[in-house]
Amino acid sequence: MPLPRFASLEHHAMPLADGIASERGWAQAVAAGSGPQAHLWQGVPGWAVPASYARAPGWAQWQARCAQAGAPVHVRSSGGGLVPQGPGLWNLSLLWRTAQSEPVQANSVYQALCALLERTLGAMGVAASPQPVEGSFCDGRYNLAADGRKLVGTAQAWRRVEGVPVVLAHAVIVLDADPAELTAATNAFEEGLGQARRYREDALTSVAAEATRAGQGPGPGGWAARLADALRRHGLDGAV
């Protein structure tokens, strides 16, 4: 399944308080006939986890502690693992109507999403390719990695919204966050929840770090503006 044509990319300059709730609203608009939507957004400091985390012993108490510490935890509909949100992490949400709600073409969507992101990052001087990265948070075979280090994670959700099948294809892009700080924070989250899984600092990098190594800079608008421009011109094939 190729991705549909996205007429525009909405770059949200201000962080969204609840990106998962925002995605639900965008999905409702798509189901109502808005046409495909593309959003680039940043979340406030916090976490997004799949429903499996909510079944861990002590989940309610840990979720409450995170909220009290100013890092709320949101449970998302897609699979995968723990994903941090906050400064330096940007989300790309692509939504469109489809013929059926069963994810029979999930691999094709992942491949198209990764190709879109490869074009985007290539325009920023970063050579990345889809691959699993052992020791990275929310690892999967449709990560994007540069020199074996993850800088993008992807996910999907297929669902019926008001009876209409809608696909959400999502990417979390480590733009200019510090990989060491992210790794320490994700390990602290897992430890606090009493989970055994741990992540490696050297499994992670950032777009900014890789672009800088390639002799590229952020441009006058900063890294986020450059990412949005690359998505519009190269990833989304001329979206405005």
User: Span 30-38, mean pLDDT?
Assistant: 97
**CA gap 202, 156 in Å, rounded:** 26
13 confidence band (pLDDT: 50, 70, 90): very high
Residue 239 lies in a domain: no
46-61 per-position pLDDT tens digit: 999 999 999 999 999 9
Residue 123 lies in a domain: yes
Residue 203 lies in a domain: yes
Q: What count of residues does the chain have?
A: 240
**CA gap 152, 126 in Å, rounded:** 12
> Which residue, chain included where needed, has tokens 């400091």?
45
Residue 2 lies in a domain: no
| Residue 240: per-residue pLDDT | 54
pLDDT above 90 coverage of the chain, percent: 90
The total domain count for the chain is: 1
Q: Which amino acid is at 42?
A: Q
Residue 3 lies in a domain: no
| pTM of the predicted model as reported, rounded to 2 decimal places | 0.95
Structural domain boundaries, residue 123: 10-234
| Residue 6: per-residue pLDDT | 95
Distances (CA, A) of 84 to 89, 174, 177, 230: 8, 10, 11, 23
Pull the structure tokens for residue 183: 């790794």
Q: What is the CATH number of the domain that holds 227?
A: 3.30.930.10
| Residue 239: per-residue pLDDT | 63
Chain CA centroid to CA 103, Å: 19
| Residue 215: per-residue pLDDT | 97
| Residue 235: per-residue pLDDT | 87
Residue 4 lies in a domain: no
Residue 198 lies in a domain: yes
212-237 per-position pLDDT tens digit: 999 999 999 999 999 999 999 998 97
